[in-house]
Amino acid sequence: MPIGLNVKRNHIKSIGVIYGYAYEGHCYKLPKPQIMCLSERPTPVAKGDCGFDPSFGYAVWSIDKLERAIVLDIRADDLKTLVLDENLPGNRSPLAYAQAQSLAPQRHRD
C-alpha cells in the first residue's frame, strides 16, 4: 500500500501557499514559499501576527506537527533544465544514487 495522505480519513480541506510558520512561540519564514494541501481550513491571521497583515489576504492554519500534508513542487523552465540537467551526475540527490546502486544487476563470474 502506498504511503501518503489517507483521503478517506484525512480529507484535504484546503490548499495554501505557505510563506512561514510559528512553532513554540517563534515565527519562521521559509526560504521559498511552498504550496501545501492541508487537512484543516485556514482562519484569518491576527493583525501583525508574525509580520503578516490580514488586509492582504493572509491566513493561518492551526495544525499539529504530526498531521499529514502534501507539498507540491512546481517549477517552470525548459525541458533541458527540468529533466536533463537535473539528472546529470552530480546534480542528483544522494537518494537517487542509492536507488540506482541498489537496482543494478549483480554479475557473477563463473
Model pTM greater than 0.85? no
> Does one domain contain both 30 and 18?
yes
> Does one domain contain both 23 and 38?
yes
> Does one domain contain both 33 and 15?
yes
pLDDT above 90 covers a percentage of the chain that reads 22
Supply the range of the domain harboring residue 96: 76-104
Residue 109 in domain: no
pLDDT in tens, 57-105: 888 999 998 988 999 988 888 888 878 877 777 666 655 555 544 455 5
Residue 64 in domain: yes
> Does one domain contain both 64 and 87?
no
Residue 52 in domain: yes
Instruction: Write down the mean pLDDT value for the chain.
Output: 78
Question: SS3 string of the chain?
Answer: CCCCCCCCCCCCCEEEEEEEEEECCEEEEEEEEEEEEECCCCEECCCCHHHCCHHHCCEECCCCCCCCCEEECCCCCCHHHHHHHHHCCCCCCHHHHHHHHHHCCCCCCC
Residue 84 in domain: yes
> Does one domain contain both 26 and 54?
yes
- How many domains, the chain? 2
> Does one domain contain both 69 and 40?
yes
pLDDT of 14 reads: 92
Task: Give dist(CA 107, CA 1) in Å, integer.
Answer: 31
> Does one domain contain both 53 and 96?
no
